[in-house]
Every structure is written in C-alpha cells, then in structure tokens.
C-alpha cells in the first residue's frame, strides 16, 4: 500500500514539474510573439504634406457659417477627421472621436471635414449628434491632404505643423496619432523601427 502511495506521489510530482516546464515555455513563446507583433498605428499614406511640414492654410466656414481656420497657428493642436455620411467605419469611430474630444480637451480641438451636398451633411450631423464640432465641407482641403480613403485623420500642432496622419479604422489607430505626436515620431511604426 505504501509503495503505491509513494509511486503515485512521485508520478504527480513529475506531472507538476512537466506542467511547470510547459507553462514556462508558453510564457516565453508569448513574449517572443509580442516582440514580433508590433503595435499597429494609423496607416500612414506616403502622400500629401509630410509629417514635420507646415500644413496648407485654409480659411473655411462650417455648416453653420462660423469661420474655421485650418493649418493656421492656434492655441491648441487640431485633429482633422475626414468623414462621410455613407462610411460605416466613420460612423463606428464617431463615439471614439467624441470621447477623445472630452479626454484630450486641454490640448486638442477636433474639426470634422468632408465634401458633398450640405443638406445631406446637416442631416448626418443631426443624426450622429455632432453639433459640438466644427464640420467643414471642402473638396480642396481633402485634395491638399491627399485623402483617398476614409476615415482619415491628420493631427496638426499649435503651429500648424503636421505631427501625425493616417487612415484610422479603430480607437487604437486614432490614439496612435496622439502617441506619435507625444513621442515625436511620424508614426508608431517609425518608433518601433527606431527602437529595434
């Protein structure tokens, strides 16, 4: 009887040690995987004003006729968020933009931009409850920043200099623009490449 107890206890210890080795190996593999899969920020297109260049200056009016200056020096940084009433990803990101407007209000102003028929955009603003944001319709603005896909965002600093830009499809990609500005890099990908 005692021999069976000693044998089963020995087998259990061997199993426990084997499980510890497996857990250690898995933890190591997760660490390796984490290093290989870099954080993915906004997809930066290689066109339009480059990060570090002064943005083109536009004197525009929002849907209500209020003046909106884009690219000119201002007291806070400006996030230009290009949207469309027919873009499902844009609609998905609007709550994130609203949240960023509240959490980053000390240093950030947000301007929504698009082009097209004003009535359609007024309905969109009302439906999506975007009245708190300046909403400009300007095809030349989109052309100046080479916006070809939506949703697209450009972060301008207080001096009107492009600090980060890119195609944004998620909260993480939008916040990566803020992180890129904070770290002083054009994009999260550039930061990771510099670190390696």
Residues in a beta bridge with 43: 167
Looking at residue 61, its pLDDT comes to: 96
Q: Answer yes or no: are the C-beta atoms of 110 and 100 closer than 8 Å.
A: yes
Looking at residue 74, its pLDDT comes to: 95
Strand 108-114, strand 77-82: pairing: parallel
Q: Is 174 within the bounds of a domain?
A: yes
Residues 134 and 188 in one domain: yes
Residues 5 and 80 in one domain: no
Residues 14 and 109 in one domain: no
> What is the SS3 assignment for 191?
helix
Q: Is 120 within the bounds of a domain?
A: yes
Looking at residue 184, its pLDDT comes to: 74
List per-residue pLDDT tens for the chain, 196 residues long: 788 888 889 999 999 999 999 999 998 888 777 665 545 556 566 678 998 999 999 999 999 999 999 999 999 999 999 999 999 999 999 999 999 999 999 999 999 999 999 999 999 999 999 999 999 999 999 999 999 899 999 999 999 999 999 899 889 889 989 988 887 766 555 665 666 5
Q: How far does CA 176 lie from the centroid of its chain?
A: 5
Residues 96 and 144 in one domain: yes
Contacts 24+ apart (CB under 8 A), 8-14: none
Domain region containing 13: 1-37
Looking at residue 69, its pLDDT comes to: 95
Please tell me the pTM assigned to this model: 0.75
Looking at residue 44, its pLDDT comes to: 63
Cα–Cα distance measured from residue 10 to residue 12, given in angstroms and rounded to the nearest whole number: 5
Looking at residue 1, its pLDDT comes to: 76
Total domains in the chain come to 2
Residues 32 and 96 in one domain: no
For residue 151, cis peptide bond before it (omega within 30 degrees of 0) = yes
């Amino acid at each position: 009887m005692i021999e069976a107890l000693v044998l089963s206890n020995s087998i259990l210890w061997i199993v426990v040690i084997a499980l510890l080795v497996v857990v250690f190996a898995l933890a190591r593999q997760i660490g390796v995987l984490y290093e290989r899969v870099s954080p993915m920020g906004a997809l930066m297109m290689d066109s339009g004003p480059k990060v570090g260049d002064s943005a083109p200056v536009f004197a525009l009016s929002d849907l209500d006729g209020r003046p909106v200056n884009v690219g000119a020096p201002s007291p806070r940084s400006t996030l230009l968020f290009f949207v469309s009433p027919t873009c499902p990803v844009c609609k998905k990101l609007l709550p994130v933009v609203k949240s960023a407007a509240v959490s980053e209000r000390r240093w950030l102003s947000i301007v929504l931009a698009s082009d097209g028929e004003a009535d359609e955009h007024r309905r969109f603003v009302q439906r999506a409850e975007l009245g708190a944001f300046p909403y400009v319709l300007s095809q030349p603005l989109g052309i100046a920043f080479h916006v070809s896909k939506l949703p697209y965002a450009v972060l301008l600093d207080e001096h009107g200099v492009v600090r980060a830009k890119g195609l944004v499809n998620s909260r993480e990609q939008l916040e990566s623009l803020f992180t890129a500005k904070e770290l002083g890099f054009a994009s999260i990908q550039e930061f990771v490449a510099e670190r390696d």
